[in-house]
Chain A
Amino acid sequence: AQSVTQLDSQVPVFEEAPVELRCNYSSSVSVYLFWYVQYPNQGLQLLLKYLSGSTLVKGINGFEAEFNKSQTSFHLRKPSVHISDTAEYFCAVSRNYGGSQGNLIFGKGTKLSVKP
């Protein structure tokens, strides 16, 4: 069975500092990987996705993530955060096989708090 672990439930950081949100997954088959952001009282918005090819993926709002197959990780990074990046971030994995329902397995989320 697949699972997703987000190692930090909360990450406080000062404005303009770099940030890394960690995500590890477990799966016996190849996977697709996603990061979503959720602002308070809103739905989830896709930040970026890894399907294949280059292991460094760039997304919206200046975020990027690197897929590391040997470490089964997909950490999210931003070199300089803004107050507006304060939100909850979810890592998700989808099993790579034909005829899938497209079901995603989500981590429990990391709350990023950017302080002035």
Chain B
Amino acid sequence: SQTIHQWPATLVQPVGSPLSLECTVEGTSNPNLYWYRQAAGRGLQLLFYSVGIGQISSEVPQNLSASRPQDRQFILSSKKLLLSDSGFYLCAWSVTRSSNQPQHFGDGTRLSIL
């Protein structure tokens, strides 16, 4: 069966520090991969999605970047964190190129910026 892992579960970082969040999927090949941010009272905001290695689409301009160095690995990064980057970050995967398949979510990373 397929599983998705995100780490770390929680992270406290100072303003201006770098960030790297990692997400890996097991048990499937060539998945679509997604990064979301969930801020209090604002629902889920899609940040990035990827349909293949090295293919990244950004949904909103921001202080973050994403990379997909391997088929089942998706990394969210920042060179210098802002206070506004605080939130709950969720990684998800779905069957590639199919809009009728649900997305499957990891357990998330709670990021607090001080």
Instruction: Return chain B residues, CB-CB under 8 Å to A90.
Output: 43-44
| Cross-interface CB contact of A106 among B44, B51, B100, B110, cutoff 8 Å | B44
Whether A102 pairs with B110 at a CB distance below 8 angstroms is no
Whether B99 pairs with A43 at a CB distance below 8 angstroms is no
Minimum distance in angstroms from B27 CB to a CB of chain A: 16
**Binding site secondary structure of chain A:** loop
Minimum distance in angstroms from A41 CB to a CB of chain B: 7
Is residue B104 contacting chain A, with contact meaning CB distance below 8 A?
yes
| Cross-interface CB contact of B99 among A41, A94, A109, cutoff 8 Å | A94
B-contact bits for A39-69, CB 8 A (1 contact / 0 none): 0011111100101000000000000000000
Is residue A116 contacting chain B, with contact meaning CB distance below 8 A?
no
CA gap between A44 and B4 in the complex, in Å: 12
Whether B90 pairs with A43 at a CB distance below 8 angstroms is yes
List the B residue with the shortest CB-CB distance to A46: B102
Whether B98 pairs with A102 at a CB distance below 8 angstroms is yes
Whether A42 pairs with B44 at a CB distance below 8 angstroms is no
| Cross-interface CB contact of A42 among B99, B102, B107, cutoff 8 Å | B107
Is residue A104 contacting chain B, with contact meaning CB distance below 8 A?
yes
Is residue A25 contacting chain B, with contact meaning CB distance below 8 A?
no
Is residue A97 contacting chain B, with contact meaning CB distance below 8 A?
yes
Given A90-B44, A102-B32, also A46-B99 (CB < 8 A)? no
List 13 additional A-B contacts (Cβ < 8 Å) besides A32-B100, A44-B105, A101-B99: A34-B102, A41-B110, A42-B107, A42-B108, A43-B90, A43-B108, A45-B105, A46-B104, A90-B44, A94-B99, A102-B101, A104-B46, A106-B44
11 CB-based A-B contacts, threshold 8 Å: A42-B108, A43-B106, A90-B44, A97-B99, A99-B97, A101-B51, A102-B95, A102-B97, A103-B34, A104-B46, A104-B103
